[in-house]
Amino acid sequence: MVWDAWGVPAGHQPLSAQIRGLLTQVFGISGEPAARRDEGDVPLVASTLTASTRADLAALVGAEHVSTDDIDRLRHAGGKSTLDLLRRRDTRPQDAPDAIVAPADHNAVLAVLRYCSAHGIAVVPFGGGTSVVGGVDPVRGRFPTVIALDLRRLDTLTDVDAVSGTATLGAGLTGPQAEKLLAAHGLSLGHFPQSFEFATIGGFAATRSSGQASAGYGRFDDMVQRLVVATPRGTLDLGRAPASAAGPDLRELFVGSEGTLGVITSVTVRVHPIPETTAYQAWSFPDFATGAAALRTVVQTGAAPTVLRLSDEAETGLNLARSSDIGGAPVSGCLAVTTFEGTAAHVAARSAEASELLSSAGGTALGTAPAEQWEHGRFAAPYLRDALLDVGVLCETLETATSWSNLANLKAKVTAALSDSLTGQGTPALVMCHISHTYPTGASLYFTVVAKQLEDPIAQWRVAKTAAGDAIMAAGATITHHHAVGADHRPWMGAEVGDLGVQVLRAVKHELDPAGVLNPGKLVP
């Protein structure tokens, strides 16, 4: 992962003529991309790691796995939110962890946590570094030193149970690494969030990630069967059965704990045979309300496809602009994408049932091409954001979820909050939205916002983000459906779970991390 943008250099592309034309037309932006800095030229605040601490950590994980190299530190200096990427453009010395420590296995993680707890060293667990909520910011809290605990060496598939459809994966495996190991057994996890190419199994669990095929395979929290967690107080090994009535489900405390309660070192997940068949079908709906009602009918009837998405009019229009670049057919109204995976018989039965429902609910079948195009480009959006940031456009996303009956209200309120807060700063905004995760009782809303950058785009976005977050909570929705809390959503956690809920979280944290060294400044208010 490059230090100041998404992904790998090969993924970066200049803006198309179509997009540049749109930016000139809407925002009056026609500038050339800003030059990027080489990571070797970036000044960092000095590491505070002492020689004795370094030696102690080296004794636990091996000397070659404790790094204070500045390029290493820069690459662990935070995640990939727009705020993160804007901060990287600052020419002052960048904040970074004081060292990168990469333990080999669970026991080494445990040893590092015990050492750091005893010696007052903050620990930021680090997987793929793809957080978009400040979840891996190198925050010291009240400690003089902060390390990034890089989990990349926990990269093994330790168990496969093809009969039960489960696999035990190391926390440090990236999405593609995990899929490759599983494919050797004819299996797939089917978890494809936009961060799939870089994010890790441990990160998926620690953030309650949800992938684009969630309608078919569930959220990552649904997939988790068993978790092994290292804490300063010892190990937790949770999950003895597919389902249990043995008290509170403690797995659900650690799924979503974002490194504040412990470090997830391995996850036993539900997997499935690599699908025999995949069918694609795109749909057009006259408007978002009609499309949302159609998706609702499909999910509530028990006929959900594997992927089920609906873009609103604005996003469909931008898709139109982008897809016409690559020869796609124009789509009017609102575009919906469905895919169906599984055995041939299952795909045939399910797609027939869902298609009949979508058609009856006002959908017009568009054939397979727009759905295949969506799948082809589904990991590319963050690269587009980089290209936009480079020419002076502010681009960020945020997401939430609510009940079906509150969906239109929530969409209107968040759209207004984003538009008004940016327009109020003199920068008219494009706000687009889609539904990408559906449930019998409701759905997620994912917003993309584009505006011209002001001189201080960080301050500019903070105003908009605060307005959107407040609007989400006022509308009774959740502050995050799948991006997690990190530092950026922490101000709303009190509203999310109530004062007493926060006290419960603090009590659990105090029990497992009495020194408070685990991921300071994240999640728990």
Give the residue numbers marked as catalytic.
Answer: 446
Query: Torsions phi, psi of 89, nearest 5?
Result: -80, -10
Site string for a second copy, 286-325 (x = CB under 8 A): ----------x---xxxx----------------------
CA pair distance 202, 5, nearest whole angstrom: 22
Is residue 228 near a second copy by the rule CB under 8 A?
no
Cβ atoms within 10 Å of 476's Cβ, excluding its own = 11
Interatomic CA distance for residues 76 and 124, integer angstroms: 10
Residue 516: left (phi > 0), alpha (psi -120 to 50), or beta? left
Q: How far apart, in Å, are the Cα atoms of 451 and each of 158, 417, 458?
A: 47, 14, 13
**Alpha-helical runs (H) found in 326-397:** 344-360, 369-376, 381-390
- Choosing from 142, 180, 376, 510, the residue that interacts with a second copy (CB under 8 A) is 510
Note whether 279 binds a second copy by CB under 8 A.
no
Q: Which is nearer to a second copy, 110 or 154 (CB)?
A: 110
Q: Is 272 among the residues that bind a second copy (CB under 8 A)?
A: yes
Q: Which of residues 146-165 bind a second copy (CB under 8 A)?
A: 161, 163-165
Q: Does 195 bind a second copy (CB under 8 A)?
A: no
Is 52 part of any known ligand binding site? no
Task: Tell which one of 238, 289, 321, 454 touches a second copy (CB under 8 A).
Answer: 238
| Interface residue with a second copy, options 69, 90, 249, 456 (CB under 8 A) | 249
Q: Using CB under 8 A, which of the segments 97-105, 111-119, 150-158, 209-217 binds a second copy?
A: 209-217
Q: Which of 492, 522, 482 is nearest to 138 (CA)?
A: 522
- Other Cβ atoms less than 10 A from the Cβ of 290: the count is 15
Question: What is the C-alpha to C-alpha distance for residues 449 and 436, in angstroms, rounded to an integer?
Answer: 16
Give least dist CB 428 to a second copy, A.
30
Which amino acid, 335? L
- Identify which of residues 309 and 489 has a Cβ nearer to a second copy in the complex: 489
Instruction: Please work out the total of residues on this chain that contact a second copy, with binding judged by CB under 8 A.
Output: 99
Does 496 participate in binding a second copy (rule CB under 8 A)?
Answer: yes
Which of 219/385 has CB closer to a second copy?
219
Min dist CB 280 to a second copy, Å, is: 18
Task: Taking the CA atoms of 258, 260, 265 and 268 in sequence, report the sign of the dihedral they define.
Answer: negative
What does the alpha-carbon distance between residue 367 and residue 283 come to, in Å, rounded to a whole number?
A: 8
> Site for a second copy (CB under 8 A): which residue of 112, 132, 236, 388?
236
Q: Which of 153, 219, 385, 411 binds a second copy (CB under 8 A)?
A: 219
Is 125 marked as binding a ligand?
A: yes
Three-state SS for 22-33 is HHHHHHCCCCCC
Mask: binding to a second copy, 431-470, rule CB under 8 A, as x and -?
------x-xxxxxx--------------------------
What is d(CA 476, CA 302) in angstroms, rounded to the nearest whole number? 26
Strands 429-435 and 334-342, sheet pairing: unpaired
**According to CB under 8 A, which one of 151, 432, 485, 487 is a site residue for a second copy?**
485
The distance of closest approach from Cβ of residue 466 to a second copy in the complex, given in angstroms and rounded to an integer, is: 17
> Which residues, 6+ apart, have CB-to-CB distance to 245 below 8 Å?
none
Nearest to 263 by CA among 318, 202, 196: 202
Here's the x/- map for a second copy, 395-434, by CB under 8 A: it reads as -----xxxxxxx----------------------------
Instruction: Identify the helix (H) or strand (E) that includes residue 464.
Output: helix 457-474
The residues, ordered by sequence, that sit 6+ positions from 348 with a Cβ below 8 Å of its Cβ are none
Told to check if 497 binds a second copy by CB under 8 A, we report yes
The alpha-carbon radius of gyration of the chain (Å, integer) is 23
- Tell me whether residue 15 or residue 238 sits nearer to a second copy (CB atom): 238
Instruction: Please say whether the beta carbons of 437 and 481 come within 8 A.
Output: yes
- Binding a second copy (rule: CB under 8 A), the pick from 8, 55, 59, 504 is 504
| Residue 257 binds to a second copy (criterion: CB under 8 A) | yes
Residue choice 125, 127, 190, 256 for contact with a second copy (CB under 8 A): 256
Q: Give the residue with the Cβ less far from a second copy, 35 or 500.
A: 500
**Shortest Cβ 470–a second copy spacing (Å):** 14
Shortest spacing between CB 303 and a second copy, in angstroms: 6
- Residue 435 marked in a binding site: no
For residue 13, count other CB atoms closer than 10 A to its CB.
11
- 326 to 365, contacts with a second copy by CB under 8 A? 342-343, 345-346, 349-350, 352-353, 356
Q: Which residues are annotated as a binding site?
A: 125-131, 207-210, 258-264, 385
Q: Which residues are annotated as a binding site for FAD?
A: 125-131, 207-210, 258-264
Q: Which residues are annotated as a binding site for substrate?
A: 385
